[in-house]
Amino acid sequence: MIKRGTLIIGTAIALVVGSAGVSAAIADTGSPHVSPAIRQGDTSFYSQEQIPAAWTAATAAVPEPLPAGATYPKEAPPLLFGDGTSNNIYEQGLPEELATRWWRCAWIEYSQSGTAARDGKTAEVQKKLAKWKSFTAVEEFDGLQGYEEKMSALAQRLDESPLAAEFRLDCGPDVYNTGSEK
C-alpha cells in the first residue's frame, strides 16, 4: 500500500479543493538523513522498516522549535504504520511533511489552549505559524498551495475559526497524537 501526502489534508479539504500529490524532501541542514530504499520510475519510497529512522530524521530537520514543553513523539504517527504489514511503502517527503504538520499542530494546540494568550504570546504564535509555509517540506508539497485561504473558506462553512477547523481536520490522531510515547 502506498501512502501519499494527500491523506494528510483529508477528505474534508478534498471536498473544497480537490486532490493533490506529494513531492517533498528534507532540507540539507546537517540533520540525519535516510535514503529511500525503493525507487519506482522517478519516485522514491521508504520501506515500512525505514519509517522509524525516516521519522527521526524528519523531526530533526524541522527548522523551528516546538512550543515550550512539547516534544515530538519517538514513534512515528499512525499514518506511517499502514495496515500492519511490512509491504507498505511511503513516498519520499511524506515523513518530512508529517513532521512539519506535527509541528504546526503543536503550535495550533498551544494557541487554542489559552496558554499563549495568558502568557502574552499570541503574536509570537502567529509569527511561528506563518513560518510554516517556508519550510522545505511544505514549499515542495503542491497540495498546500493556497492552504490558509482554503482552510478559512472551510472554517466559514463550518462556523469555526480557521485554526480550530484546521486542528480538527488536519491534526487528528493519525497525524498528531500528544498522548504518544515521547
In the predicted structure, residue 46 carries a pLDDT above the cut 90: yes
Q: Could you tell me which residues are beta bridge partners of residue 91?
A: 45
Rounded distance, CA 29 to CA 63, Å? 8
Q: What is the per-residue pLDDT for 9? A: 34
Please report whether residue 177 resides in a domain. no
* Listed range (18-27, 64-73, 146-155) with the worst mean pLDDT: 18-27
Please report whether residue 176 resides in a domain. no
Please report whether residue 61 resides in a domain. yes
Range of the domain at 107: 2-170
Please report whether residue 180 resides in a domain. no
Rounded average pLDDT over 47-73: 95
Tally of domains within the chain: 1
Q: Note the pLDDT tens digit of each residue in 99-133.
A: 999 999 999 999 988 888 888 888 889 999 999 98
Please report whether residue 175 resides in a domain. no
Please report whether residue 139 resides in a domain. yes
The three cell numbers locating residue 114: 489559552
Q: Strand 89-91 vs strand 2-3: parallel, antiparallel, or unpaired?
A: parallel
pTM value?
A: 0.78
Query: 36 vs 48, 132, 162, CA distance in Å?
Result: 10, 25, 35
